[in-house]
């Protein structure tokens, strides 16, 4: 069985490698990720992951893996900031509060779908002006839901999480391994 990763994220590739899995092909899905008016974060995240899986062109015998990560502050969806100003607004809103990071994982083989979402509670400390400005200047916020990446410099801003660290990074490994196994894909292949 061939595995197609429907993501350009190097973090997702690295996380899959921790399972001993190397995608046979990388085919990022190009879809509109705009939330529907009134859509709740968890529903939004799963919808986007499903849409990504359907947008990836694959043969009937190719297993497509897609994921989406969303930061939720209450009912508010904090996607990827469009600029440093929006990133600053997100980081300021998250400071001193708990929020949720939701990652939805979808596998598609032909018409069959396996799906799972993982919700992790995260608390970010209140950032000083120096910390905020240095983080924004680093550019690390670009392309990251909520404007931060826990696996990088922003890890210093996160004193507490409850749930899946790898889910916050972008691919919950325990749940992804279980889905791959359910779909018949060999996790931990013997060389």
Known catalytic residues? 68
Q: Which of 46, 55, 48 is nearest to 4 (CA)?
A: 55
Q: How far apart are CA 124 and CA 16, in angstroms?
A: 26
Q: Look up tokens 């990720």; give the residue.
A: 33
Under 8 Å between Cβ of 91 and 147: yes
Cα→Cα distances 91→103, 125, 131, 171, Å: 19, 10, 11, 22
* Tokens at 145, concatenated: 């839901």
* Tokens at 35, concatenated: 């939330």
Which helix (H) or strand (E) covers residue 10, if one does? Answer: helix 10-18
């Amino acid at each position: 069985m061939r595995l197609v990763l429907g993501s350009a994220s190097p973090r997702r590739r690295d996380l899959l490698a921790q399972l001993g899995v190397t995608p046979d092909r990388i085919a990022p899905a190009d879809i509109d990720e705009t939330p529907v008016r009134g859509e709740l974060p968890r529903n939004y995240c799963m919808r986007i992951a499903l849409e990504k899986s359907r947008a990836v062109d694959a043969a009937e015998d190719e297993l497509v893996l897609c994921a989406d990560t969303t930061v939720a502050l209450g009912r508010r969806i904090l996607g990827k900031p469009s600029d440093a100003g929006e990133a600053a607004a997100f980081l300021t809103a998250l400071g001193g509060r708990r929020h949720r990071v939701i990652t939805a994982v979808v596998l598609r083989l032909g018409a069959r779908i396996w799906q799972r979402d993982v919700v992790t509670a995260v608390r970010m400390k209140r950032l000083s002006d120096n910390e905020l400005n240095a983080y924004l200047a680093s550019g690390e916020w670009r392309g990251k839901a909520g404007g931060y990446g826990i696996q990088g410099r922003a890890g210093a801003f996160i004193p507490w999480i409850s749930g899946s660290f790898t889910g916050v990074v972008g691919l919950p490994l325990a749940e992804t391994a279980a889905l791959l196994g359910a779909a018949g894909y060999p996790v931990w292949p013997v060389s």
